[in-house]
Amino acid sequence: MKQLTKTAVTYSALLLIEAHEETTTLDVKMQLRQLGFRADQDDVSDFMMEVQDDLHLGMEDNGQYRTYTMPELDDIASDPVSGTAAKSGSISTVNQISEVYVKRNGDRVFAFDNSDMVTGVHSTDGSQNHWQVRSYENQGNNGNPLYFHTDYSRDEVRQAYAHIKGVPFADTRTVHQP
């Protein structure tokens, strides 16, 4: 069995929220167990409290269990640690999700600065692959890659990258990495 990590809990929670618009610690624990992690309720609950703080997730406690949802973008308009304004759609966390792109239909595409944040959890098909996207036309800040989960399509990650980095869609390049 795999050792439970905050990264695994974070990714499982985000995938469940994306799929069902909300999740509970029980849902996260069950998914992690299916993926081969040694997950008990107390550890998952402790990690989820950290994840909720880090990502500014919405949380409702009905006395029996907590339900987590994605935050409204208005709720994360500034970084509570530094007090600096965050750009629209971004979540300021350390080594967690760096950007969120909201598609026209309301679905969110999560981008990471670090490939390690993506590879900690298996995708729905059981693989540990991820997308790396960068722009070769604009090497400055725009040349820095972002990493996306393999469950997104190639076009989804290219569109998200283009929007986040402010580069033309045609200038984006993707690599599907193991």
Q: Are residues 25 and 111 in the same domain?
A: no
Around 55, how many Cα atoms within 13 Å sit in the side-chain half-sphere? 30
Which pLDDT belongs to residue 49?
87
Question: Is the pTM here over 0.85, yes or no?
Answer: no
Are both 88 and 175 inside the same structural domain?
yes
The percent of residues above 90 in pLDDT, for the chain, comes to 14
Q: Is the pLDDT of residue 165 over 60?
A: yes
For residues 173 and 124, membership in a common domain is answered with: yes
Phi-psi region of 63 (alpha: psi -120 to 50; beta: other; left: phi over 0): left
Average pLDDT, the chain: 74
Residues 64 and 115 in one domain: no
H or E segment and range at residue 18: helix 6-20
Does 109 share its domain with 142? yes
Residue 91's pLDDT band (cuts 50, 70, 90):
very low
Q: Which of 71, 98, 130 is the last residue before a domain boundary? A: 71
Instruction: Output the CA–CA distances (angstroms, integers) from residue 150 to 51, 130, 131, 141, in the order listed.
Output: 21, 5, 6, 24
Last residue of a domain, one of 71, 105, 120: 71
Domain extent at residue 24: 1-71
φ and ψ of 52, to 5 deg: -60, -40
Alpha-carbon gap, residue 158 to 145, rounded angstroms: 11
Please say whether the dihedral angle defined by the alpha carbons of residues 154, 86, 71 and 29, taken in this order, is positive or negative: positive
Q: Check residue 78 and report its DSSP letter.
A: B
User: Do 178 and 100 reside in the same domain of the chain?
Assistant: yes
Task: Please state, in angstroms and rounded to a whole number, the distance separating the CA atoms of residues 29 and 84.
Answer: 34
Whether residues 51 and 127 share a domain: the answer is no
- Here the CATH number for the domain that contains residue 41 is 1.10.10.10
Tens of pLDDT, residue by residue over 105-147, are 667 777 877 766 665 444 445 555 788 888 866 555 445 788 8
pLDDT reported for residue 93: 38
The verdict on 150 and 178 lying in the same domain is yes
Contact 117, 78 (CB under 8 A): no
Between 110 and 89, residue with greater pLDDT? 110
Question: Is 92 in the same domain as 168?
Answer: yes
Number of domains forming the structure of the chain: 2
- Parallel/antiparallel/unpaired status of strands 130-135 and 58-61: unpaired
Strands (E), 28-164: 58-61, 66-69, 97-102, 108-112, 130-135, 146-149
Instruction: Assess whether 58 and 84 both reside in one domain.
Output: no
In terms of pLDDT, which residue wins out, 5 or 149? 5
Among 18-22, 52-56, 137-141, where is mean pLDDT lowest?
A: 137-141
Tell me, yes or no, whether 15 and 95 share the same domain. Answer: no
Of 10-19, 52-61, 110-119, 161-170, the range with the lowest mean pLDDT is: 110-119
Residues 18, 46, single domain; the answer is yes
Torsion sign across C-alpha atoms 122, 124, 129, 134: negative
Token pair for 165? 């980095």
